């Protein structure tokens, strides 16, 4: 006994981890089934992804049954349900991957020209070859208007959420109701509202008007998400802060909000995701302009969705290529923004 007691420390192990050896038969089945189904699709009249699926699913179920037959009924049911979930997850991935792939493969052609992100359409037309002109004006316009919307909406949305969950004022039911209703407002109506107030008032289209229209759409998303996040803060934390003699506003600012910092950032990300690709509210507010504009108050401003929309209407080979590249650029811009936001917010230290 004392030998074992004095033996060197054994290596840490994780007996609960799923090892590659354990999932190898399943992976083999999935791969083999996929290849077999592909062969059937190629050899017979069955066609397309749905045809492939019709062959793959029975192979998968029967194969799973055969693999798990020695382990008893419960294990078999477990394996089949598990397989079904993975299959359904795979199917639901298909549209996303397909969409991304289409945008990337179609858009890369035009986007790989440096001029696409370094110049605008001031002296080029939509039919010009891809080594002329670009989407700089639209990229700048989109970033400008999304920034205006975010600067207005983030404080307002978070404050609304704080009013509803922390202050718990008398009007919170009404406020919550209005926020909910706002999320149902069609985006063109938001545009029309800003058109009839700001655009008519200033007597010109502008980036500011576009940003305001986007803010109307972004506000309910931010406020609702922030409210749900704030509700997750345990009351113990608020009590602990109050018991230290902290007033409510300092409790909210220094205890509650920091606790859910990454959740608040998520609310902002969801809000930006909601508006970045909006076209309808910009039609009547920012309109479109071919040159790069940095001023939000001096006349119309381009945006990536509006530029895409216009290019698609031109309907020529080069304008289509530019439209795909615009979509890809929008995806990339949103992706970069989200990555930066995530990196800055860090993880919740809980």
Partner 1 sequence: MTDVKGHEVTKMVETQEAVAVSSRQKAGLEARGIHAWFDKHHALEDVNLFFPENTVTGLIGPSGCGKSTFLRILNRMHEFIPKAAMAGEVLLHDGDIYDPSVNPAEIRLKIGMVFQKPNPFPAMTIAENVVAGVKLAKLKVASRDEVIEECLTRAGLWKEVKDRLGAKGGSLSGGQQQRLCIARALAVNPEVLLMDEPCSALDPGSTLRIEETIGELSKTMTIIIVTHNMQQAARVSDYCAFFLADGGPGHLVESGLTSQMFTTPTDKRTEDYVQGRFG
The residues that touch partner 1, with contacts defined as CB under 8 A, are 1-2, 4-6, 8-16, 22
User: What are the residues whose beta carbons fall under 8 Å from the beta carbon of 324, sequence distance 6 or more?
Assistant: 103, 106, 107, 109, 110
Instruction: Round to whole Å and give the CA distance between 191 and 227.
Output: 26
Sign of torsion over alpha carbons 17, 18, 19, 20: negative
CB of 314 vs partner 1, minimal distance in Å: 53
Of 170 and 350, CB closest to partner 1: 350
Which is nearer to partner 1, 5 or 343 (by Cβ)? 5
Q: How far is the CB of 339 from partner 1 (least distance, A)?
A: 23
How far is the C-alpha of 184 from the C-alpha of 186, rounded, in Å?
Answer: 6
Nearest residue (CB) to partner 1, 4 versus 92: 4
Distance of closest approach, residue 282 Cβ to partner 1, in angstroms: 44
Considering the complex, what minimum distance in angstroms separates the CB of residue 7 from partner 1? 8
Q: For residues 6 and 96, which CB has a smaller minimum distance to partner 1 in the complex?
A: 6
C-beta of residue 334 within 8 angstroms of C-beta of residue 110: no
- Least distance in angstroms from the C-beta of 85 to partner 1: 18
CA atoms of 95 and 97, how far apart (whole Å): 6
Q: Which is nearer to partner 1, 15 or 184 (CB)?
A: 15
Nearest CA to 328 among 119, 120, 106, 133? 106
If you write DSSP's letter for every residue of 148-186 in order, what string do you get?
HHHHHHHHHHHHHHHIIIII--TTHHHHHHHHHHHTTS-
Task: Round to the nearest angstrom and report the end-to-end CA distance of the chain.
Answer: 43
Compute the least distance from the CB of residue 141 to partner 1, in Å. Answer: 44
Cβ closest to partner 1, residue 5 vs residue 96: 5
Cα angle 316, 286, 296; round to 5? 125
Closer residue to partner 1 (CB): 7 or 343: 7
> Residue 14 CB, nearest distance to partner 1 (Å)?
5
Q: What gap in Å lies between CA 242 and CA 250, rounded to an integer?
A: 9
Distances (CA, A) of 334 to 166, 210, 330: 31, 18, 6
- Residues 286/205, Cβ–Cβ less than 8 Å: yes
């Amino acid at each position: 006994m004392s030998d074992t007691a004095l033996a060197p420390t054994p290596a840490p192990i994780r007996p609960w981890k799923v090892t590659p050896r354990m999932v190898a038969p399943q992976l083999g089945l999935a791969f083999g089934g996929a290849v077999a189904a592909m062969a059937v699709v190629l050899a017979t009249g069955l066609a397309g992804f749905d045809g492939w699926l019709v062959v793959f699913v029975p192979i998968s179920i029967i194969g799973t049954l055969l693999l798990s037959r020695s382990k008893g009924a419960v294990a078999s049911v477990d394996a089949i349900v598990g397989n079904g979930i993975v299959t359904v997850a795979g199917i639901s991935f298909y549209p996303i991957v397909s969409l991304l792939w289409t945008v990337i493969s179609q858009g890369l052609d035009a986007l790989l020209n440096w001029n696409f992100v370094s110049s605008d359409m001031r002296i080029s037309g939509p039919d010009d070859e891809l080594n002329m002109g670009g989407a700089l004006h639209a990229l700048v316009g989109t970033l400008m208007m999304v920034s205006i919307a975010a600067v207005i909406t983030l404080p307002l949305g978070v404050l609304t959420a704080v009013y509803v969950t922390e202050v718990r004022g008398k009007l919170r039911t009404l406020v919550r109701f209005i926020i909910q209703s706002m999320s149902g407002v069609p985006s063109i109506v938001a545009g029309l509202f800003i058109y009839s107030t700001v655009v008519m008032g200033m007597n010109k289209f502008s980036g500011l008007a576009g940003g305001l229209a986007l803010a109307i759409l972004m506000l309910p998303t931010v406020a609702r998400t922030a409210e749900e996040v704030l509700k997750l803060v345990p009351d113990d934390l608020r009590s602990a802060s109050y018991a230290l003699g902290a007033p409510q506003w300092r409790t909210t600012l220094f205890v509650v909000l920091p606790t859910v910092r990454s959740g608040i950032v998520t609310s902002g990300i969801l809000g930006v995701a909601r508006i970045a690709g909006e076209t309808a509210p910009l039609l009547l507010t920012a309109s479109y302009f071919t040159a790069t504009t940095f001023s939000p108050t001096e006349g119309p401003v381009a945006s990536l969705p509006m530029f895409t929309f216009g290019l698609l209407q031109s309907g020529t080979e080069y304008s289509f290529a530019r439209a795909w590249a615009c979509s890809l650029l929008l995806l990339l811009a949103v992706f970069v923004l989200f990555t930066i936001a995530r990196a800055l917010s860090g993880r919740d230290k809980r």
